[in-house]
Each structure stands twice: as structure tokens, then as C-alpha cells.
Amino acid sequence: MTSTSPIDSESAQNEPALGLRERRRRDTLREVSDAAIELFERKGVQGTTVDDIAQAAGISQRTFFRYYPTKEHAVFAGDEGFGTVMREAVAAIRGGAPVVAALEAGWLRLFDDFDAQPAEHARVLRVKRLIHAEPALLALALANDAEHADELTDAAVDAAGAQADVLIARALVAAVSTTTRLAFDEWARRVELGTPASVREIYLELRRGLAAYAAQLDAPPSA
């Protein structure tokens, strides 16, 4: 999910050609984010001000706040693709698609995009290190995760209507979200050790393993 599993890619073939204004907006978002990441790495979140980031990116504070509500939010600039996944998943679930199928359709596409863009991998690793090292960034990442989980759960409950089970819907969303997060964490661990890895393949490995264990849930729990 967004979050502890940052993704900074969105396939050009899956979106219409961007207009000049939108390209400039995304370029600015990226430049500000890059400046924030570099400053956070050198000075820490507490030691960095919005003015520091704005100056490094060559913009005013006013322009900064046009794009980000806080300095911490600047780290998560690469979530354009994830935003698309969320919108499409919510729409598909509300349209009657199974929750897992709706979520996986977007995630697998993003995994493919990410695996195909090795130039972005170093940046993602930097962001993950910052999230794990800085409590303020971790808190924001977890809050984003919770917000997205609520949105997906609401969509699943609304689609199910009167027969909806909120707790089961939340558990299902959490299961997929946790698996994707674990896939990114394992990818990062392998890459940090110098082992080539594919997020998509790791996710599919986890999925197969979970499917094999899922049969055990049919058996009554031991006393």
C-alpha cells in the first residue's frame, strides 16, 4: 500500500497522455520530494524545515503548501500509481467485483511497472529507510494505510448490502494489504543484500504459500 510500500511508477500505457500543466505539476512534486528526502537523510525530519525544502527545490513556501500539507507528506510523492490503483479498486468493488480480484488487478500492474523501472529502485529503498528510521514518517505511512483500508472496507460493505460483514471485509482487505507490504519488505531485504529480486514474484510466492495454508482455516481450532 502507500505507505510502507512506496511506489514511484505508473505505466504510461495505462494512462492518457499528460498535458503540459500536469507534467509540470508532477515534475514539481518530484523535485520537492527529492529535496525533502535528501534533507531528511542529512538532517533528519526534526532538523529540516519547510523553508529548507522549498529553498532546495527552488520554490516558495507558499508553493510548497500548494502541493503538500506538511513536510512529512513530501516523502510520499511517488504514490500517483497507487492512487490510481485505489480508485480503480474501489470502483470495481462497488461494481460487484470480488475484493481480492479488484485489489490484485491493480497491484500486479504496479508490480510489473516497478520491476521494469530499476532506475527507481534506489529511491524507493531510500524512502523505506527513512520511514523505518523516522517515527513521524512511519506514523504518517501507517495513518495512510489505515485510511486506505477504511475506504476499501467501506466499498466492500456497501457492495455486499444487507448481508455485509464489516469485520470479515476488513480482515480480507488487511490480508491483501499485509501481503503486498511483506512483498515489498522482502524485496528491499534481498536487494539490500545484493540479490536481484522481483516484487511481483515475491508477492506470488507469498500468495501461493497463503493459499496452501488457507485450507487449515476450514478445520475447527484446537481446544
- Write down all domains in the chain, each with its CATH number in brackets: 12-218 (1.10.357.10)
Cell numbers for 31, please give them. 523535485
DSSP summary character for residue 5: S
The pLDDT of residue 12 is 39
Report the C-alpha gap between 76 and 154 in whole angstroms: 24
Which parts of the chain register pLDDT below 50? 1-2, 8-15
What is the pLDDT of the chain when averaged over all its residues? Answer: 88
The pLDDT of residue 170 is 93
Q: Are 195 and 168 in contact (CB under 8 A)?
A: no
Length in residues, the chain: 223
Distances (CA, A) of 198 to 3, 212, 217: 19, 21, 29
Q: What's the helix, strand, coil split of the chain in %, to 5?
A: 75, 0, 25
The pLDDT of residue 132 is 94
The pLDDT of residue 10 is 44
The pLDDT of residue 14 is 45
The pLDDT of residue 26 is 84
The pLDDT of residue 79 is 59
How many Cβ atoms from other residues are within 10 Å of residue 20's Cβ? 7
DSSP summary character for residue 220: P
Query: What is the sign of the dihedral through the CA atoms of 144, 147, 153 and 156?
Result: negative
Cell numbers for 184, please give them. 515489498
DSSP summary character for residue 18: P
Report the C-alpha gap between 146 and 3 in whole angstroms: 10
Q: Which helix (H) or strand (E) holds 177?
A: helix 166-192
